[in-house]
A and B are shown apart, each in its own frame.
Chain A
Amino acid sequence: MSAKVRMAIPWLLALITLLLMFDFWTWDNDAFFVWSFAPWAYFWYFVPYASISYLAIAVLLKLAWPEPPQSMIEGRAKRGD
């Protein structure tokens, strides 16, 4: 995978998860209940939202976060700054 595609993945996932947060179009459903502790504004929207976010994390880890070469982790160069 090219560096540009790898760089675009976290931004794309960030955009999707942020846009999903702005569920203004569902605010009319807020008083909707199924279980007695779980209104829409708390449970029915945000549990699926969190699940999608966790899926996005899995994608981020799988596609955008490579293992660095072992050589660069071992040993520390002089700072020289």
Chain B
Amino acid sequence: MGMALTIVVVAIYLIVTLVIGWLATRRTSSTVGDDYFMASRTLSKITLVMAVLATQWSAFVIMGLPGEAYRSGFGTLGKYASVAFGCAFGAYMIGYRAWLLGKRYGYSTSPELLAARFSSPAAHIVTLVVSLYYTVPYLITGMMAGGQAVVIITQGAVPYWLGALIMGAVTVYYIAGGGMRGAAQVAVLQGVVIFIGMVILVIFVGASQGTANILEKVPPNLLTREGKFTPVEYIAQALIMFGNPVIFPQLLAKLMSSRSVEDLKITSVAWPVGTFTVFALAILMGVWGAALVPGLQGPATENVLFMMFAKYAPPFLGALLIVVLLAAVASTLDGQLLTVSQLATLDIFKRYTHLSEDRVVRFGRWAVIVVAMISYLGALIRPGNILVIAVFAFAGFCLLFWGALLALHWKRMNKWGFVVGVSVGEILLHLWQFHLIPYFPGIPNAFLPALIITVLLSVVISLTIPQSEDEARARDRFFSVFAEAFGDGGKAAEIPVSGTVKSSM
């Protein structure tokens, strides 16, 4: 009975998703790349907010965070709390400027944007490689979570490989057809399902089991941070989560697709509020899981919500949780599939092979299918647990975030500062993360010293090497847009070329 109900609810959810995707496909141009990849930059309030939120609420929220809370307790919220302001900071500092430049010059990806900022193919390659390198493994975690969800739904009757295949196929259908418009319109459904679903689930567990009763069973070491976290770990995670989600290509593309500044501002408020709230709910349920389903170890802790609901909830709530997971998985998976397709189409094939405009959409659709197949193969290998892959991707993107932040706010930043700073930072992050070299003296953490070195190298090199004439022209093209937008009377455009001038921004 329970399993039949779950399958019916999931089937209804998938059919509704396919119908929305089909409607979006009918409205999407087959010959205009900007319409396919950016919905002609017409995403408005509700659609934009939900598209951004649903993309942020990934399998990491339904499986990764509760798993960490199960192991580390309530203090987990503190590690991720910087999103409460950080998302708005990122949206303002990078999202808004990228949106202005996209409106003015037609940019739609971060590699394209940063290459134009420095007039540099090297900056393009570094940004492209970093974006693809961290997005593809994260994409694989979506497929993995989808496969695991279907195994749980069917209690093992449908194997993992088939579950991941079903999730991938449904997502590919509406992304290959509807592009950004398909992703955004389906995101409205996904966002509502995730948020309302999480609230209902928390209320049900709290009311049915009694919060006081649950808390009595929580192991005491999960109530305190002492012994579970170190200050260095806390600082590193705060900086990783602070603002850097904006540089995730799937999120930046959505912000750049905003119809107006007003819509972007509303999103800048809703994004941190929604993200912090859902993180808090996921962590609360993870800790409750430690009381209600004790004894889980290692990667099994990521299934804590499913096990808790299988044990205590009536079948319809179990079905709701599964749909919440599917929505969370698909909402990130679709954005990542589209963004990798976009990077492959615009930043590799169109840029280096002169792919004609009328073939861009067809190429993009095939790219979605090919990327999905590669990710599916990756999901079959299961390269690691979801939290580890996601957090490592966050850290890697954070170094790019600071490079982009300097590029869009500091006129003296030059291509060598950007390329060397980000590249060396990424290499050191890997060396420290995988213990190939000893930690930086006094800082037992891979990310913090990599961030400091990225910023220091970027600044020192930019101050040492003057900008070329090409670079200075490219810089002035950008900063004149900012000056116009911020009402500085176009001062930026008057800055001399030498690169030794004082910055006014």
Contact = CB atoms under 8 A, between A and B. Distances in A.
B106 A72 contact: no
Chain A contact residues: over half helix, strand or loop, or mixed?
A: helix
A41 B106 CA distance: 46
B105 A76 contact: yes
Contact of B96 (A3, A17, A49, A65): A65
Contacts of B243: 14
A42 B284 contact: yes
Contact of A10 (B89, B212, B280): B89
Given A54-B272, A57-B85, A21 B78 contact: yes
Contacts of A81: 105, 115-116, 119, 474, 477
Interface residues of B, number: 64
A78 to B, nearest CB: 8
B93 A10 contact: yes
Contact of A76 (B93, B104, B214, B477): B104
A34 interface: no
A7 to B, nearest CB: 6
B81 A50 contact: yes
Interface string B212-231: 10110000100111100001
Interface string B195-216: 0000000000010000110110
Contacts of A54: 84, 269, 272-273
A56 to B, nearest CB: 5
B22 interface: no
B242 A14 contact: yes
B238 A18 contact: yes
B329 to A, nearest CB: 26
B505 interface: yes
B18 interface: no
19 contacts: A3-B486, A3-B488, A3-B504, A7-B505, A14-B86, A33-B215, A37-B284, A41-B75, A41-B223, A41-B224, A42-B287, A46-B77, A53-B276, A65-B96, A69-B485, A72-B103, A76-B105, A79-B106, A81-B119
Interface of B: 73-75, 77-78, 81-82, 84-86, 88-89, 92-93, 96, 100, 103-106, 115-116, 119, 206, 211-212, 214-215, 220, 223-226, 231, 234-235, 238-239, 242-243, 260-261, 265, 268-269, 272-273, 276, 280, 283-284, 287, 409, 474, 477, 481, 483-488, 504-505
